[in-house]
A and B are shown apart, each in its own frame.
Chain A
Amino acid sequence: CATPPPKHSGSVDAERHQQRLNALTHWSLSGKLAYRGPEERFSANLNWQQWGPDYRFRLSTFIGTSLMDMQRRGKSVALTLDEQTYRHRHAGTLLENLTGWPIPVEQLPHWIKGSSMGAIERQISDNGLLQRLQSSTDWQVTYDDYRQLGDYVLPYSLRLTHQNHLIKIRINQWQPIDDNHAL
């Protein structure tokens, strides 16, 4: 499988970099997501596809079987778990009600790119890249392992913490799709 590009060493203009990320609306990635909470700890393979406001967020087991499949199409979100499909307007509530995992699904498409969209506090490192953000919903996100991919600089590792919940995401493969051609 594709090996990730080398670590990013240069620097970017912070604001222009944020604008570029927010203009990147069609992309996909695969990697790993780990969750550590008060009662439970697990890790799974992560696949995320984003088309503008719509997305498909999937977790699979290490042998490749489906654990969870969440899709937003416009206003409604569908979550498939153990061959049952549930619907709701708010993805995070739906997921937490059914699994107990407080994954901030609605904000993840921004944060996972290293965009500080919606953050109430942010820390930019001297190379212009987002190092840490704090959200109004009391999530703290920290980044490391930025890499250059084409003309984007994207994070390959991030940690999200909220009270006593920790989510670790490690990205093996990013596929930014420019707006001018579909997935």
Chain B
Amino acid sequence: EGAKEALEQKLDALNTYQAEFKQTVTDAENTVIQQAEGLLQLQKPNQLRWELYAPNDTIVIADGDTVWHIDPFVEQVVAMNQSEAVQNNPLVLLAQRDPDTWAQFNVSRDDSDFVVASRSDDSHIAQLRIRFDDNTLSKLTMLDRQQQTSEFDFYNIQQNVLLEQGLFNYNLAKGYELDDQR
């Protein structure tokens, strides 16, 4: 039914994407258990920067090969192969658009959302819902296997504006321990 192709087309139209977001995590009983705000930046074909503002201060950079997860609170950086990071961090899916990665996922439509589900059941994510208002990426929702929902509502959205390349390269912060899982 072409849901995957339609989604790929929408994502393909995004040469770059930048938006702030409010993140709300709720449990199966709809209790809010976590909230944060941050900034998401995408650069076609396979680069991403995802930053949580203070007090949460976490940064994820996908430079095309490696996903760097920088965590100031524990002074650690975790490095993972970008293709492997996708299973447990579907945000990276937005920056990993090659066919063999997408072959691991089914895509269907549920009213205004594209619903992306992993074919492998050892992924923590049961479902990733991607919402476009026309051609604007407006919302991401992740549902994990404990029925915990993490919603990212985007605002101040800018699509296809020039983004500075330095945003997507990473150099090890002094004093941080590197946990290299590549």
Contact = CB atoms under 8 A, between A and B. Distances in A.
Contact of A43 (B71, B89, B149): B71
Contact of B34 (A35, A60, A168, A170): A60
Most B CB within 10 A of own CB, among A64, A83, A170: A64
Contacts of A30: 33-35
Nearest to B35: A1
Given A32-B73, A60-B25, A60-B33, A65 B179 contact: no
- Describe A's contact surface by its main secondary structure: strand
B113 interface: no
Given A63-B91, A64-B142, A69-B146, A1 B71 contact: no
Contacts of B125: 65
Interface string A28-64: 0010101110000111010101000000001011111
B23 A43 contact: no
A63 B89 contact: yes
A172 interface: yes
B74 interface: yes
- Interface size range on A against B: 20 to 34
B74 A36 contact: yes
Interface string A7-47: 00000000000000000000000101011100001110101
B76 A83 contact: no
B148 interface: yes
A66 B144 contact: yes
Interface in B119-161: 124-125, 142, 144-146, 148-150
A35 B60 CA distance: 20
Contacts of B88: 61, 65
Nearest to B91: A63
Given A58-B33, A60-B33, A65-B125, A41 B148 contact: no
Given A1-B35, A63-B91, A41 B146 contact: no
A63 B142 contact: yes
Contacts of B60: 62
A64 B73 contact: no
B148 A60 contact: yes
B56 interface: yes
Interface string B1-41: 00000000000000000000001010100010111110000
Interface of B: 23, 25, 27, 31, 33-37, 52, 55-56, 58, 60, 69, 71, 73-74, 76, 88-89, 91, 124-125, 142, 144-146, 148-150, 177, 179
